[in-house]
Amino acid sequence: MKLIDGKKIAETIRQEIAGEVKRITGAGGKVPHLAAILVGDDPASETYVNNKAKACKEVGFDSSTYRFPADVQQEELLEAVDFINRDPEIDGLIVQLPLPSHIDNQKVIQQILPEKDVDGFHPVNVGRMTIGLPSYVSATPHGIMELIMRSGIQTRGRHCVVLGRSNIVGKPMSLLMARNEEPGNATVTVCHSKTQNLKEITSAADILIVAIGQPEFVTADMVKEGAVVIDVGIHRVPSAKTKSGFRLIGDVRFDEVAQKASRITPVPGGVGPMTIVSLLLNTLKASKKEIY
């Protein structure tokens, strides 16, 4: 078994981005700029947005955060999105999710100009990705495709099983793996909570992508000898062995599945570190007007 080291690959990409920023600004070009809208004071969202700002700084991007109280009116958020849409200094905009329940997520996402939608959540970007046009791809599937590409994993003609069908992971993942481009060209099966004979299907996978959201759901008996296993899950569980009192685990029972897999992503240090890097790559593309 060989680990797919997401931490190391993410660091390599960050260095590549930093080099590109130096080249652009050295030639008199504009510094890429990512804006985030943060509503309320959810600590997890606060951490995500802070991490994104920190990552921007590390590669030489500008970033700004627009904060709103949890009781903000939807109209005010839509106006803020319009304001950022019109600002030529800002290349990319993300609205940190989840939003408070009185706000219509889709309404806010659809207010973002597709050319600034570096989260790839706008239906125009989702639709373009679906029909194979250049688009922003959302952070997790984008990061997984980078991991696969940079690890030299062959996907062409292989059987890829995707566990999970969410809009932000399972669904785009299955489309990307099946696309007529490489990485891609895989034969894809999508499994979900209503799938029958799940073990039979996952055991036939050459590449198994797990985004089911249940701790250690995938066990060794569900995996074919020599398969590539990508674990998208991340769960915090109590642990007596760590100073913090908890540890992180994935959707895959790592110790036993690692015995059978040819390649596997660890948790933490696999898919996770790739997600912020994907957002940086999308912001760089936005600033270079590569997609639109």
Our finding on whether 91 is near ligand GUN (CB under 6 A) is: no
Active site residue 110: no
Active site residue 111: no
Our finding on whether 119 is near ligand GUN (CB under 6 A) is: yes
Q: Residue with CB nearest ligand GUN?
A: 97
| 175 CB burial (10 A radius; 0-12, 13-18, 19+) | buried
Cα–Cα distance, 64 to 135 (Å, whole number): 23
Catalytic residue (choose from 5, 62, 91, 96) = 96
Options 63-71, 88-96, 154-162, 231-239: segment touching ligand GUN (CB under 6 A): 88-96
Q: Which is nearer to ligand GUN, 94 or 177 (CB)?
A: 94
Residues 6+ apart with CB under 8 A from 239: 245, 246, 247
Q: Which is nearer to ligand GUN, 17 or 37 (CB)?
A: 37
Q: Which residue matches tokens 């590569």?
A: 290
Binding-site member from 18, 24, 97, 248 for ligand GUN (CB under 6 A) = 97
Binding-site member from 95, 148, 163, 209 for ligand GUN (CB under 6 A) = 95
SS (H, E, C) 47-113: HHHHHHHHHHHHHCCEEEEEEECCCCCHHHHHHHHHHHHHCCCCCEEEECCCCCCCCCHHHHHHHCC
Binding-site member from 13, 38, 137, 139 for ligand GUN (CB under 6 A) = 139
Contact 164, 211 (CB under 8 A): yes
Angle at 172 between CA 133 and CA 250, to 5 degrees: 150
Q: Which is nearer to ligand GUN, 55 or 139 (CB)?
A: 139
Our finding on whether 117 is near ligand GUN (CB under 6 A) is: no
Catalytic residue (choose from 5, 117, 119, 251) = 119
Cα–Cα distance, 145 to 188 (Å, whole number): 14
Active site residue 119: yes
**Rounded to 5 degrees, what are φ and ψ at 231?**
-105, 110
CB of 94 to ligand GUN, least distance (A): 4
| 117 CB burial (10 A radius; 0-12, 13-18, 19+) | buried
Our finding on whether 148 is near ligand GUN (CB under 6 A) is: no
Question: Within 248-287, which residues bind ligand GUN (CB under 6 A)?
Answer: none
Q: Which is nearer to ligand GUN, 119 or 216 (CB)?
A: 119
CB of 35 to ligand GUN, least distance (A): 12
Residues lying near ligand GUN in the complex (CB under 6 A):
48, 94-97, 119, 139
Q: Which residues are catalytic?
A: 52, 96, 119
